[in-house]
Amino acid sequence: MSIFSTKKSWINLTIWVLLIALIIAAPSVLPVFRLNLLGRYLSLAIVALGVDLIWGFTGMLSLGQGIFFALGGYCAAMFLQLNSSGEFPNGIPEFFGLYGVEKLPFFWEPFKSSIFTLISIWLIPAIIAGLLGYLVFRNRIKGVYFSILTQAALLVFFNFFNGQQKLINGTNGLKTDVTQLFGQMVGSEIMQRWFFWISAVLVILAWFFARWIVRDRFGNILIGIRDDEARVRFTGYNPVIFKTIIFSIAGGLAGISGALYTVQSGIVSPQFMTVPFSIEMVVWVAVGGRGTLLGAILGAVLINYAKSLVSEALPASWMFIQGGLFILVVTALPEGVLGWIRKDGPKKLLFLLGINKKLETYPSLEVNEQGEVKS
């Protein structure tokens, strides 16, 4: 690919080797608790990839990815609850008894099937994202308007799920760690190891998928929409379709991520739809480097790991650090860490500190393998 200059691919290769080494080494090195945390962060990397697709490539800042994340989680949790509620009265999950519900609400019925669940985990969030997106994009609502509308939508879904005890156990959420799958407790060590592997594989698959989306003309149009939507429209493309498709893809990725996160954290609750969590997703991408898919994965894993370490040591200071990170990354590092490395950031820093001498000649030309000058 022409967009891979030689240097870029070296950086990418290094990071990939490190990442895969980490994934392979982790199960034997880390204790189960840490492994489980790493698995969760890997699943969060999938939602970050989606955020990167819509924000980094298409320029739409969604502050409501938590909706789709939580929907995926709810789909998985509903299946698991039904799967292991045979011995409860009426054969329905236990919590229904608390609210005097005797008949399973109608929308629970299809989740008895595992195939339906596997499809719905990504399809339902994708459809809802597509619908919501279409209604908004159709009217050329974009920029800040789009962001605050998604945030409002997030709050609306939060309120809805929070208030419906009789349908989905409201604010308590659905527990998954004591449910059964393949005759095993979902919260057990063996299952958690499996979920770690599934998350790791799915992150890599999601990366390939996202890469495949953005590498061809489709990706070029997305970048065109980001840089100048009016011009894309005047050139004869309909941005609405592309924006709807990519928003819906991001929603689907968020759903998968939410399902994996749910089975590893043991519960899905409306807390997944709080405003701070959805904005955090954006900052993972911003720190890692927007427009660089690898950056999204790195950002999600590293920031979450840092978060858990800092909150264990100094609980109060994480808010300060996180707030500072938001400000720092948009003012000083708009390209994110990966973008900064790719743009010779470290060299420039060394130069600024007076350690390294500037060696470039002017005019500097970039030359490809055949010795031809790149345009």
Which residues of the chain form contacts with another protein (CB under 8 A)?
55, 59, 61, 63, 135-136, 138-141, 143-145, 147-149, 151-153, 155-156, 159-160, 162-163, 230, 275-276, 279, 282-283, 286, 316, 319-320, 322-327, 329-331, 334
Cβ proximity to another protein: between 41 and 284 the closer is 284
Closest CA to 80 of 149, 148, 181: 181
Distance in Å, CB of 148 to another protein, minimum: 4
What is the nearest approach in angstroms of another protein to the Cβ of residue 60?
9
Measure CA of the first residue to CA of the last residue in the chain; give whole Å. 15
CA distance 47 to 300: 9
CB-nearer residue toward another protein: 162 or 176? 162
If the CB atoms of residues 166 and 347 are measured against another protein, the closer one turns out to be 166
What is the H or E stretch that residue 198 is in?
helix 189-215
Please say which residue, 183 or 276, places its beta carbon nearer to another protein.
Answer: 276
How far is it, in rounded angstroms, from Cα 198 to Cα 114?
A: 17
- Calculate the alpha carbon distances from 267 to 196, 221, 262, 272 in Å: 16, 39, 6, 10
CB of 230 vs another protein, minimal distance in Å: 4
- 98 vs 230, which CB is nearer to another protein? 230
259 vs 281, beta carbon nearer another protein = 281
Q: Are 172 and 268 in contact (CB under 8 A)?
A: no
CB of 160 to another protein, least distance (A): 5
If phi > 0 it is left, if psi is from -120 to 50 it is alpha, else beta; for residue 335 that is alpha
Nearest to 311 by CA among 319, 300, 299, 323: 319
Q: How far is the CB of 8 from another protein (least distance, A)?
A: 24
Residue 185 contacts residue 177 (beta carbons within 8 Å): yes
Q: What is the DSSP string of 75-141?
A: HHHHHHHHHT-TTSGGGS-GGGGGGT--S--GGGGGGGSHHHHHHHHHHHHHHHHHHHHHHHHTTT-
The residues that bridge with 184 in the sheet, in sequence order, are 181
Q: Given the complex with another protein, which of 147 and 199 has the nearer CB atom?
A: 147
Cβ distance to another protein smaller for residue 23 or 154: 154
Distance (Å, whole) CA 95 – CA 103: 12
- In the complex, the smallest distance separating the C-beta of residue 136 from another protein, rounded to whole angstroms, is 8
Peptide bond into 363 cis (omega under 30): yes
Output the smallest distance, CB 170 to another protein, in A: 11
**Are the C-beta atoms of 248 and 126 separated by less than 8 Å?**
yes
- Of 32 and 141, which has the nearer Cβ to another protein? 141
Q: How far is the CB of 137 from another protein (least distance, A)?
A: 10
The CA distance from 148 to 243, in Å, is 17
Q: How far is the CB of 224 from another protein (least distance, A)?
A: 15
